[in-house]
Amino acid sequence: MSDMAVRDNNGLQAKAYGGRTVAPPVDVFENADDLLIIADVPGVRNESIELRVENGTLTLEAKHQTPKEELPALVREYERVDFVTTFRIPAGIDTGAISAETKNGTLVVRLPKAAAAKARKIAVQ
């Protein structure tokens, strides 16, 4: 099941800073119960993150919102860009139980495996 979440950004368009599409850095891990997608989304608030499951894909969009009271920057090394990336979700994932949380600028998306897709031991009689 190691090919379960493959990044699929072909043809993906986003309204991003400077007209660019920026995909956040991600890591994908698999354990016995689920897949984990871990994405860096620095400076993005939870309410600005949108996750969608549609037609076998998971799309992650994160919009940077600059506060109106922000002062003009003297030096700016971090670009304020919108993030977008898409993953194919093959059979074996319980799409109704996908969950996500953020902590310290990192988004963790948990894609639980359906019971039928989990490894199990078979007792020999």
**pLDDT of the residue at 2:** 46
- Amino acid symbol at 115: A
The two tokens of residue 93 are: 């994932």
Phi, psi of 61 (to 5 degrees): -125, 135
pLDDT tens, residue by residue, 45-75? 899 899 999 999 999 998 876 665 667 778 8
Average pLDDT value over all residues in the chain: 79
Residue that the structure tokens 């919102």 belong to: 65
Task: Considering only residues 16 and 116, tell me which one the structure prediction assigns the higher pLDDT.
Answer: 116
Distance CA(124)–CA(113), nearest Å, equals: 25
Q: How is domain 6-66+77-116 classified at the architecture level of CATH?
A: Sandwich (2.60)
Q: In what order do the strands lie in the sheet with 57-62?
A: 6-7, 83-88, 57-62, 49-54
Paired tokens of 118: 């989990």
Radius of gyration in angstroms for the set of CA atoms belonging to the chain, rounded to a whole number: 17
Domain ranges of the chain: 6-66+77-116
The pairing of strands 106-112 and 34-40 is antiparallel
